[in-house]
Amino acid sequence: MSGGKSIVAALALSLLAGCAEKKVETAEELKEVFEKKTSEAPQGASAEVQAMVNQAAESLKKKDEVAAVATLQTIRATPDLTIDQALAVQDMIVQAQKRLAERAAAGDPQAQAAMEMMKYKHR
């Protein structure tokens, strides 16, 4: 049954992605999404979540995709994210993983080791 739940979750994210304003492509855009006050989050993100977003943004700027993905996954597990915040986090996870894969394919041994580590983590 968990496979069914995964499919439903994937479909929900796909539908929500179509409703989002635009994809988040930079660390600065990620930070902006979490700073924005909305009807869902009238105070913006909590201080704890904002600190994690800042940490992820710094990791992305330093091209430390492994640290960025780890922090972003922690943020994604936060229960009170808005739809836009959740989608922004997912966009950045995908981008960071793509950059890491590109570095690994280009022969970067650190990126290759990180990809192996991530592969085993998800088993």
120: Cβ contacts below 8 Å, ≥ 6 apart: none
Q: Over the Cα atoms of the chain, what is R_g? A: 15
List per-residue pLDDT tens for the chain, 123 residues long: 444 554 445 445 555 544 546 899 999 999 999 988 777 766 767 889 999 999 999 999 999 999 999 999 999 999 889 999 999 999 999 999 999 999 999 999 998 998 888 777 665
Query: How many Cβ atoms are within 10 Å of 78's Cβ, its own excluded?
Result: 15
84: Cβ contacts below 8 Å, ≥ 6 apart: 20, 21, 33, 36, 38
Amino acid at 108: D
Q: What is the pLDDT of residue 37?
A: 78
